[in-house]
Amino acid sequence: KAGVTQTPRYLIKTRGQQVTLSCSPISGHRSVSWYQQTPGQGLQFLFEYFSETQRNKGNFPGRFSGRQFSNSRSEMNVSTLELGDSALYLCASNTGTGGNQPQHFGDGTRLSIL
Amino acid sequence: SQQGEEDPQALSIQEGENATMNCSYKTSINNLQWYRQNSGRGLVHLILIRSNEREKHSGRLRVTLDTSKKSSSLLITASRAADTASYFCATDAGYSGAGSYQLTFGKGTKLSVIP
């Protein structure tokens, strides 16, 4: 099975712009979660989608949004980019049903804000 | 917010030695998981231990869980240069039929294994 695929791997934007990141989960996985990783704050949960519905959301401003498509692929969008949004954005997937499951992570999108 | 802390923040050992990393957390959990991250890459799942388990092994990895102390440890035996990475513990507060998955991570231990 192919792993979780995130595109693009690297992205450079300027303040005020918006950006869309993409994540394709492992085939058969219906849950997609997004995490932000920064040196200062570490790994922080952004949101989780299951069957095209957001099931859970972390403590991030409304500039951060996401969606999930019928094929379970997910996108996250950040509007009005700020310098502090520079981070590694990681996507993870699992089946989304039943407990005690590991998350399968992609290699992330490195977003740099100039 | 971070669930807990890993200790130590950084660890440097010689190849062949054992490496022990500790993790503390704050709230009740359903399970605790350990992940490895090589520089600039995603997280790789290593091992999951359920709240009713006390010890689990996987190859050269041994994980213990003490729910009364809200702590866990990861032991890597006979370390190799390829084990050089950051190691994170993550807690899962639980999944319900109407719930969702959300892992809460510690800040990680950076392990360097010197050949």
Measured CA to CA, the distance from residue B105 to residue B25 in angstroms comes to: 9
Residues of B in CB contact (< 8 Å) with A are 1-2, 30-31, 33, 35, 40-45, 48, 50, 88, 90, 92, 94-95, 99-108
Tens of pLDDT along chain A (114 residues) come to: 789 999 999 999 999 999 999 999 999 999 999 999 999 999 999 999 999 999 889 999 999 999 999 999 999 999 999 999 999 999 999 988 877 889 999 999 999 999
Distance from CA of A59 to the nearest CA of B (A): 9
Measured CA to CA, the distance from residue B74 to residue B6 in angstroms comes to: 10
Distance from CA of A24 to the nearest CA of B (A): 14
Residue of A nearest to B108 (CA): A42
Inter-chain CB proximity A107 and B45 less than 8 Å: no
Residue of B nearest to A56 (CA): B100
Query: CA angle at residue B70 from B65 to B72, to 5 degrees?
Result: 35
Tens of pLDDT along chain B (115 residues) come to: 445 678 899 999 999 999 999 999 998 888 999 999 999 899 999 999 999 999 999 999 999 999 999 999 999 999 999 999 999 999 987 654 445 678 899 999 999 999 9
Measured CA to CA, the distance from residue A33 to residue A45 in angstroms comes to: 8
Q: What is the pLDDT of residue B98?
A: 47
Q: Which residues of B touch A106 (CB under 8 A)?
A: 42
Distance from CA of B14 to the nearest CA of A (A): 26
Inter-chain CB proximity A104 and B108 less than 8 Å: no
Residue of B nearest to A47 (CA): B102
CA-based nearest residue to B4, from B59, B56, B66, B57: B66
CA-based nearest residue to A21, from A70, A84, A67, A80: A67
Q: What is the pLDDT of residue B16?
A: 98
Distance from CA of B72 to the nearest CA of A (A): 17
